[in-house]
A = this chain, B = another copy of it.
Amino acid sequence: MARYGDVSISVIKRMPRYYRFLGNLMEKGVHRISSRELAHIMNLTASQIRQDLNCFGGFGQQGYGYNVDALHHEIGKILGLRSEYRTILIGAGNLGKTIAQQIPFEHSGFSLIGVFDLKEDIVGSTIRGLEVQPISELESFCRKKRPVAAVLCIPREAAQELADKLVELGIKGFWNFSHYDLSVEYANVALENVHLVDSLMTLCYKLSEIVE
């Protein structure tokens, strides 16, 4: 696709939030909104909203504002949420299992097709209708089913080596929950690092500014 290659990552990252708020408005039965009203709800400026949206096209109408349903739909298209990127999850421990069960992959452009783990006591159990497979099956599975994305819920030590292997096997996108920073080491591989502890430490700092 690469249709909007020039749009900055700061803008992209705001898109899911717009999508979320527009979805909420739809639920409430709101069908029309101005950048001014939306800005108020989302705690942004109207200017920023109009700038952001106009990176992708003119979705509004002068004198009227934006159609909530249409805009929601457009942002979904921009993000590619109707894709079904074949996805595997590796590491079905505590966190991995929760992610597999709780995240609405299907509404976010992904389709979870395989779960893998190393531990014998986990292998064979069923998560979200998928039987957990041993890591030894990973390679043949990938050659057969050709997943394009991988969710990493594994310990830090294992992350880099596994990522290298997965890139070889054709994985083009990582959702990384391991404590390891998969920096941009591969060309043409998409990456989202989720560092929950970083977020908690940031909260600690903010809190320390308020308390005492």
The 0/1 profile, CB within 8 Å of B marked 1, for residues 1-27 of chain A is 111110000001101110111000000
Q: Is the CB of B43 within 8 A of A183?
A: yes
> Given A1-B209, A181-B20, are A15 and B149 also a contact pair (CB < 8 Å)?
no
A141 within 8 A of B: no
A54 shortest CB reach to chain B, Å: 17
Count of identical protomers in the assembly:
2
Chain A interfacial residues counted at CB < 8 A: 68
Name the B residues within 8 Å of A200 (CB-CB): 103, 105, 108-110, 175, 192
A78 within 8 A of B: yes
The 0/1 profile, CB within 8 Å of B marked 1, for residues 195-208 of chain A is 11111111111111
> Given A104-B197, A183-B43, A197-B103, are A208 and B80 also a contact pair (CB < 8 Å)?
yes
One of B43, B174, B191, B203 near A175 (C-beta < 8 A)? B203
On A, residues with C-beta under 8 Å from B are 1-5, 12-13, 15-17, 19-21, 42-43, 78-81, 83, 85, 94-95, 97-99, 101-105, 108-110, 148-149, 172-175, 179, 181, 183-184, 188-192, 194-212
Sample of 6 more A-B contacts, CB < 8 Å, known A79-B204, A192-B200: A3-B209, A4-B209, A94-B98, A109-B207, A190-B207, A190-B209
